[in-house]
Amino acid sequence: MARRTTPDAGEPVVEQIVDIDVSAEMQNAFLEYSVSVIHSRALPDARDGLKPVQRRILFGMHGLGLRPDKGHVKSSRVVGEVMGKYHPHGDSAIYDALVRMAQPFTMRLPLVDGHGNFGSLDDGPAASRYTEARPAAAALLMTTGLDEDTVDFVPNYDEQLTQPGVLPAAYPNLLVNGVSGIAVGMATNIPPHNLVEVIGAARHLIAHPDCSLDDLMKFVPGPDLPMGGRIIGLDGIRDAYLTGRGTFRTRATAKVEKLTPRKSGIVVTELPYLVGPEKVSERIKTLVQGKKLQGISDIKDLTDRKHGLRLVIEIKNGFNPEAVLEQLHKLTPMEDSFGINMVALVDGQPRTLGLKDLLRCFVDFRIEVVRRRTEFRLAKRKDRLHLVEGLLIAILDIDEVIQLIRSSDDASAARTRLIDVFDLSEAQANYILELQLRRLTKFSRIELEGERDDLQRQIEELEAILADEKLLHRTVSGELADVAKAHGTPRRTVLLESAGAPVVGATPLEVSDDPCWVLLSSTGMLARTGSGDAVPVDGPRVKHDAIVGAVRTTARGEFAVVTSTGRMVRLSALELPTLPPLGSAPGLSGGAPIAAYVDLSGGEEALTLVSLDPASAGLALGTAAGVVKRVTTDYPKGGSWEAISLKPGDRVVGAVELADETQDLVFLTADAQLLRFAARAVRPQGRAGGGMAGIKLGAKDRVVFFGAVDPTADALVVTSAGSSAALPGTQAGTWKATPYAEYPAKGRATGGVRAHRFLKGEDTLVLAWAGNTPARASSSNGVAIELPPADGRRDGSGSPAPMVVAGIGSAGVFATTSVEGVTQS
């Protein structure tokens, strides 16, 4: 290729033809374009997690003096400020970035507080002249410290102004808010995460630099999407955290409901990340019209601001709603795939980073920011201390200073004489010459001395931080903890190993049908273990570890939940989140709430879990009115059914799946009466039966505990007495533990024997339990309480309780009869 060059006007024209290779020219031009796109537009910096346009928007708002506690301004004003000073591109690109930073369904922790129509998952935003914006509270965490020399400033596009090359981010924004971008030859796609979890991992990395990925994943188990939903398949997430690339599936949160007495429907309350209800509705309508999806009669979008997302899909009579829901997951965006590609700029170079690498980039950057901020503050305080010390010298000899200044010919001479006479520096002399007369009071001297002492203390603290690397790291970790406490929110997304066995089609191969335990905590958390080994019971107590129900099943097996209204609800174990390997007593912090699987009406509670094993001796139920029933094992195939017909005002207080008929059934009443009788004394009944008399109750008496005990093994009876007039949880009362063998067996429908003698001020049992030892008591917050020793006094009074007991249960072999931490109803 030949290029012709033309000299400037006024010079003689001399033509010069230069031969240039076309391929080399195109390579160089394309390379320059690629570098420009990668560095200036598409990829975020690993330190603050921001693209250049996002960084410039926040810096532009900072320059305009906008704050979360001040009024909004027109978005077009912010766009114009950024476009004119820092970002030489179109206003639409800047406004699109501003809108994304304000959308709560896009970012986990929005950086812009928008006022007006900033769009939805299905519709775009209004024009910038119609909307208003200001920084969100989280944006201040990104810009605080810009005026303290924490980061380097670089020239803007025309080199007339300067802008920060990176913001002094106070939290790992790249992981918290995620990012997506397409550069030349590369792309990035990082999902949002929970702020508290990410900061917990960063603090752990500061304290343990050589920690493993598994250690960090104990804090960050997976993404936390802004609108909730469910993430299915955790193997892809671990691959992404290890290599920077991986894939996971997101699934809508949907449940089958009875819309009318004769019509069922599927109600969708959460959709996959960045999927709108209109997109789902249009896809369903297209499939129904094309005869590819059957069983749907209508679809309604009832989404509003008060109740949030609510997409109702009506099912035709005669069709299985679960099967239709499975087809919706396969054919519509109600199940979507998310590909993680964690690419970011590190020292100006694009790199694919794992979880530990991303956290390491942020931690190293934050340590450098705090170090530079500390050096800046130290220099400022030293300069101020220098001036204060000079001013104190002047105040001590104020008469001589005034005489010296008045006798000087000009300010320069006065400055020179002050330096020579009082041994001051030039800065101190200038500060004294600018002194106002009102500062010459006795009170001002006291203020200056106090300021001097305070500055000296601050200087010592700042110098200690710079001198001790461990103290610097603790300072960074403490600031991160403060951010998590002030801005952290609970996890919204449920993490699942698998979505469960499909209703139609082949059995999924992702999860093998291995034995496992399904556990239910007293706080309503439901989960399953990763194996069927014996569940350990020793070790420290943690949150949500009070187990009220445990069932041995398989990963694709089914079980049932028994409620206080006598209902049994069939569930699949495969739909439950899986607990990590158990090294001590199980904690269900990673479980899912029971409300996500069972619709509980007002006042209805989940009591325990049942294995639905037809080989068992049946299910035994006890009610507050003293009724006992054994339910036959011919359980229906439906999802929910009644196990007992209750009388008005009655409720189930205990349920247990019997191993055989040799077990004892035990009632404990509020009047401290205990009745034990053989399970064979109760004839099994069908589901429609109302049971038979179990214990004879006195006037105003009620049953507070019902369970089953193996009479051939060590067993214990624990009771706690109190006053019925006291508010719940305000009176400790007395409690006692007695060997179960001390209580004789009586016939069914009798009053039983005395189990606890009331002292003055006591008139009821606030808590009672009977079961096979060893046993453990638990307070309402899950803290273990030592039980009193078994004294052998069958009807004696107890010893003073050290604290209010919220639950007592077995710590031995887990079975449906073993409960731990039963919350008093």
Do 667 and 791 belong to one domain? yes
Q: CA-CA-CA-CA torsion for 457, 459, 465, 471, nearest 10 degrees?
A: 0
CA 382, CA 394: separation in Å to the nearest integer? 19
Alpha-carbon span 557 to 611, nearest angstrom:
9
Active centre residues (catalytic): 130
Q: pLDDT tens across 327-366, in order? A: 899 999 999 999 999 999 998 888 999 999 999 999 999 9
Residue that has been written with the tokens 């010919």 in this structure: 409
- Residue 805 CA to residue 824 CA, distance in Å, equals 9
If 0-12 CB within 10 Å is exposed, 13-18 middle and 19+ buried, where does residue 316 land? middle
Indicate if 774 and 669 belong to the same structural domain.
yes
Number of domain units in the chain? 4
**Does residue 290 sit in the same domain as residue 323?**
yes
- Whether residue 180 lies inside any domain: the answer is no
> What is the average pLDDT across 31-49?
74
CATH number of the CATH domain containing 446: 1.10.268.10
Of 168, 187, 207, which closes a domain? 168
Amino acid 95: pLDDT: 96
Structure tokens at 622: 């006890």
How far is the C-alpha of 275 from the C-alpha of 262, rounded, in Å? 31
Evaluate whether residue 450 is within a structural domain.
yes
Mean pLDDT score of the chain, rounded to an integer?
Answer: 84
DSSP 3-state of 389: helix
Instruction: Provide the CATH number for the domain around residue 67.
Output: 3.90.199.10
The verdict on residue 218 lying in a domain is no
Q: Are residues 315 and 399 in the same domain?
A: no
46-60, 421-435, 543-557: lowest mean pLDDT where?
Answer: 543-557
Q: Give pLDDT, residue 489.
A: 93
Q: Which domain holds residue 283?
A: 253-333
- Reduced 3-state DSSP string for 522-538: CCCEEEECCCCCCCCCC
Domain co-membership, 264 together with 122: no
pLDDT tens digits, residue range 266-283? 999 999 999 999 999 999
DSSP 45: B
Report how far residue 555's alpha carbon sits from residue 574's, in angstroms, rounded to the nearest whole number.
5
Going by pLDDT thresholds of 50, 70 and 90, the confidence category of residue 722 is confident
Q: What is the CATH number of the domain that holds 307?
A: 3.30.1360.40
- pLDDT band per the 50, 70, 90 thresholds, residue 49: very high
Token pair of 457 as six digits: 């203390």
Secondary element (H or E) of residue 748: none
Same domain, 687 and 599: yes
- Listed in sequence order, the residues at least 6 apart from 806 whose beta carbon sits closer than 8 Å to its beta carbon are 729, 767, 778, 779, 780, 821, 823, 824
pLDDT of residue 66: 95
Do 531 and 555 form a contact (C-beta atoms < 8 A)?
no
- Eight-class DSSP state of 681: G
CATH label of the domain that carries residue 518: 2.120.10.90
Taking the C-alpha atoms of residue 603 and residue 678, their distance in angstroms, rounded to an integer, is 31
Range of 25-39, 188-202, 529-543 with top mean pLDDT:
188-202
pLDDT band, very low/low/confident/very high, at 811 (cuts 50, 70, 90): very low
Q: What percent of the chain has pLDDT over 90?
A: 48
CA distances from 23 to 19, 20, 30, 37, 270 (A): 12, 9, 10, 21, 52
The per-residue pLDDT for 766 is 84
- DSSP string covering 314-347: EE-TTS-HHHHHHHHHHHSTTEEEEEEE-EEEET
Give the pLDDT of residue 729: 57
- H or E segment and range at residue 747: none
| Average confidence (pLDDT) over 644-673 | 91
For residues 255 and 335, what is the distance between their CA atoms, to the nearest angstrom? 14
Whether 115 is in a domain gets the answer yes
Confidence of residue 7 (pLDDT cuts 50, 70, 90): low
Say which residue the tokens 């399970």 belong to: 679
pLDDT tens, residue by residue, 61-70: 999 999 999 9
Helix or strand or coil: residue 352?
Answer: strand
The secondary structure of 538-590 as a DSSP string is -S---TT--EEEEEEEETT-EEEEEETTSEEEEEEGGGSPBPPPPSSS---TT
- Residue 84 belongs to some domain of the structure: yes
Domain-located, residue 726: yes
282 and 415 within one domain: no
DSSP element (H, E) containing 627: strand 627-631
Question: pLDDT confidence of 481, banded at 50, 70, 90?
Answer: very high
Q: Assign 3-state DSSP to the chain and report helix, strand, coil percentages, each to 5.
A: 30, 25, 45
Element (H, E) at 238: helix 235-243
Spatial distance between the Cα atoms of 179 and 47, rounded to a whole number of angstroms: 13
- Per DSSP, the three-state class of 116 is coil
Q: Report which of 752, 763, 769 is spatially closest to residue 797, judged by C-alpha positions.
A: 763
Q: In the structure encoding, which two tokens stand for residue 329, read together?
A: 């997951």
DSSP 426: H
SS3 275: coil
Q: 502 pLDDT exceeds 60? A: no
- Please compute the mean of the pLDDT values over residues 382-393 and round it to a whole number: 90
pLDDT digits (tens, 9 = 90+) for 133-155: 999 999 999 999 999 999 999 99
Cα dihedral 223, 224, 228, 231 in deg (nearest 10)? 20
| pLDDT confidence of residue 821 | 35
Q: Tell me if 736 is assigned to some domain.
A: yes
C-alpha span between 467 and 633 (Å, rounded) = 72
- Maximum Cα–Cα distance for the chain, whole Å? 125
- DSSP of 542-553, one letter per residue? -TT--EEEEEEE
pLDDT band at 435 (very low <50, low <70, confident <90, very high): confident
Taking the C-alpha atoms of residue 102 and residue 111, their distance in angstroms, rounded to an integer, is: 6
10 Å CB burial of residue 387 (0-12, 13-18, 19+) is: middle
Q: Is the same domain home to 325 and 382? A: no
Count, residues in the chain: 825
682-694 in b/e form (b: 16+ CB < 10 A) is bebbebebebeeb
User: Is residue 524 located within the same domain as residue 483?
Assistant: no
Is the pLDDT higher at 591 or at 760? 760
Give the end of a domain, one of 487, 502, 519: 487
Average pLDDT over residues 639-665: 90
Is 354 inside a domain boundary? no
Q: Are residues 300 and 384 in the same domain?
A: no
CA within 13 Å, CB half, 323: 11
From 152, 168, 184, the end of a domain falls on 168
User: What whole-number distance in Å separates Cα of residue 122 and Cα of residue 276?
Assistant: 5
- 369 and 314 housed in the same domain: no
> What confidence tier does 503 reach under pLDDT thresholds 50, 70, 90?
very low
CA-nearest of 357, 353, 356 to 342 is: 353
- Taking residues 504-520, what's their average pLDDT? 61
CA gap 445, 388 in Å, rounded: 10
**Of 358, 364, 424, 368, whose CA–CA distance to 396 is shortest?**
424
Say what the pTM is.
Answer: 0.61
Q: Is the pLDDT of residue 28 over 60?
A: yes
Q: Do 316 and 435 belong to one domain?
A: no
Three-class secondary structure of residue 354 per DSSP: coil
Q: Would the pLDDT of 557 be above 90?
A: no
